[in-house]
Copies of this chain bind each other. A is one copy, B any other.
Amino acid sequence: MTRPRPDADEPPAPLVWDRPPPARPRAPLSREDVVAAAIPLADAEGLAAVTVRRLAAELDARPMSVYSYARITAKEELFDLMVDQVCAEMLVADPPADWRAALRVIAVRCWEVLLRHPWWVELTGQDVLPGPNGTRHREQVLAAVAGLPLDPATRRALFVAVQAYIVGQAVFALDDGSRPRRSSGEVREAVEQFEAALIGSGEFPNLASTGTGRPASREEFESYFRRGLDWLLHGIAAAVD
Interface residues of A (CB under 8 A from B): 76, 121-122, 124-127, 129-130, 132, 135-136, 138-139, 142-143, 146, 152-161, 163-169, 171-172, 174-175, 179-182, 187, 191, 195, 198, 203-207, 209-213, 220-221, 223-224, 227-228, 230-236, 238-239
Contacts and interface: CB of A to CB of B under 8 A. Distances in A.
B171 A224 contact: no
Contacts of A230: 235, 239
A88 to B, nearest CB: 15
21 contacts: A76-B181, A121-B171, A122-B125, A129-B181, A130-B212, A135-B195, A135-B207, A139-B206, A153-B223, A160-B169, A160-B221, A161-B224, A161-B227, A161-B228, A164-B165, A165-B228, A167-B172, A168-B168, A230-B239, A232-B232, A234-B239
A148 B228 CA distance: 17
Contact of A179 (B126, B181, B182, B220): B126
A207 B127 contact: no
Contacts of A238: 231, 234-235, 238
Number of chain copies forming the complex? 2
Given A167-B171, A172-B160, A210-B142, A127 B179 contact: yes
A212 B160 contact: no
A-B interface, 5 closest residue pairs, ranked by CB to CB distance from nearest? A168-B168, A161-B228, A231-B235, A164-B168, A235-B235
Nearest to A131: B194
A21 B213 CA distance: 57
Contact of A138 (B191, B213, B224): B213
